Amino acid sequence: MANTPSSMSRHGASPVGTAVLPEGAPSLRSRISWGAIIAGAVVAVTTGLMLNALGAGIGATTIDTAARETPAASSFGIGAAVWMLISNLIGLALGGYVAARLSGTADNTDGTLHGLAVWGTTFLISAVLLGNLVAGMTSFAVSGASSLIGGVAQGAGSAVSAVGEQAANRTDTGTLQSAAQGLINRVQGALEGTGRDPAAMNSDQRHAEMTSLVTRRVTDGQLSQQDRERLNRLVAAEYDLNAQEAQQRVQQAEQQATEAARQAEETARNAADAAATGAATAGFAVFGIMLLGAIAAILGARRGTRHVLAVQAARGL
């Protein structure tokens, strides 16, 4: 016999109804407590600063200029870095504990997320504080350097003014114009000597053409056979050498220039490699420090998460 609503009501059973659910997922209340997160971040930053100050005080007591047992600079730096890391980890663990405890949650996942929020907020606050500190130090250094340069420039201006007055007293306008015109004539004469017989050129003309050829050798990487022979003749005429000696001197100068260029390139490559290695090391170090900080905040948050106590009521027989 089928169970009809009338028969079910006759037997004392409640009728079966159809549950009506709203379309879509039900709306859940937010379980994040920003007040707890901010409190945990403040506790984490304050704890880290306090422990870092303690470490700075302890490190300062180990320095004794009169004794020879003062730690080396490398050992002091390593110890300071390790202490700073430990201080920050302790601060993040305590901050995660405070955030999870004040949030009132009894869910481990919610507590862990509150700890991660404290971790992120703490690093953002530290970045802002560090940026302001660096900006303040840079501004102070720039202002100090500007004042120093201004003073030096003022002193230099006074010195130049005094020298100018003495020079003006000792030389007249005609003498200065004559010296300037002589210098101009000398440069023009050096430039007009290009292409002439080196033996018939003066020293300024030979030096000007040699400079032009050497510049072409540096910029183009090589000289044509005609330019090389011209350079050899100029060197021979300038330094009173025969053709073979002049050629050897030019070749020796080229070898020295090539070796200097090779060493400069090698130095630049080594500097670039060192910079890349330093940047990679710094990146990995920051990643490791942040990862350890996240782990410390999570452990503290898991410790601070409230536990649900299961209470079983006694039932009578």
- For the chain, what is the total number of helices (H) and then of strands (E)? 8, 0
- For range 247-274, the mean pLDDT: 84
At 237-251, the pLDDT tens digits run: 777 778 788 778 887
> Judging by beta carbons within 10 Å of its beta carbon (0-12, 13-18, 19+), is residue 96 exposed, middle or buried?
buried
> Judging by beta carbons within 10 Å of its beta carbon (0-12, 13-18, 19+), is residue 232 exposed, middle or buried?
buried
Higher pLDDT, 193 or 99: 99
How far is Cα 295 from Cα 116, in angstroms, rounded to an integer?
9
Q: Which of 12-21, 176-185, 195-204, 287-296 has the lowest mean pLDDT?
A: 12-21
pTM of the model as a whole: 0.56
At 110-146, the pLDDT tens digits run: 999 999 999 999 988 888 776 665 566 556 555 655 6
pLDDT value of residue 134: 54
At 45-86, the pLDDT tens digits run: 999 989 988 988 888 787 766 656 666 666 777 888 888 889
- Tokens standing for 72? 């080396």
Residue 112: which residues within 8 A CB-CB, separation 6 or more?
298, 301, 302, 305
pLDDT value of residue 8: 44
pLDDT value of residue 90: 94
Indicate the average pLDDT of the chain: 74
How many angstroms separate the Cα of 252 from the Cα of each of 38, 54, 243, 247?
72, 63, 14, 9
- Tokens standing for 129? 């504080």
**Residue type, position 307, single letter:** H
User: Residue 200 gets which letter from DSSP?
Assistant: G
**Residues 178/160, Cβ–Cβ less than 8 Å:** no
Position 2 pLDDT exceeds 50: no
